[in-house]
Amino acid sequence: MKHAVYPGSFDPVTNGHLDIVERAIRIFDRLTIAVLTNPQKNPMFSTEDRMDMIREAVKPFHADIQVDAFHGLLVDYTGQIDASVIVRGLRAVSDFEFEFQISLMNRRLCPEIDTIYLMSAAEYTYLSSGLIREIAILGGDVSGLVPAVSARYLKQTASRS
Interface residues with ligand PNS (CB under 6 A) are: 7-9, 36, 73-74, 102, 105-106
| Choice between 72 and 140, CB closer to ligand PNS | 72
- Measured from the CB of residue 148, what is the shortest distance to ligand PNS in angstroms? 21
Task: Please name which of 33, 29, 41, 28 lies closest in space to residue 7, comparing C-alpha atoms.
Answer: 33
Choosing from 50, 88, 120, 129, the catalytic residue is 129
Q: Which amino acid is at 157?
A: T
| Choice between 39 and 139, CB closer to ligand PNS | 39
Is residue 145 a contact partner of residue 120, using CB atoms and an 8 Å limit?
A: no
Choosing from 91, 120, 133, 150, the catalytic residue is 91
| Choice between 25 and 35, CB closer to ligand PNS | 35
Residue 126: enclosing H or E segment and its boundaries? Answer: none
How many other C-beta atoms are found inside a 10 Å radius of the C-beta of residue 12? 28
Is residue 127 a contact partner of residue 91, using CB atoms and an 8 Å limit?
A: yes
| Residues labelled as active-site residues | 17, 41, 91, 129
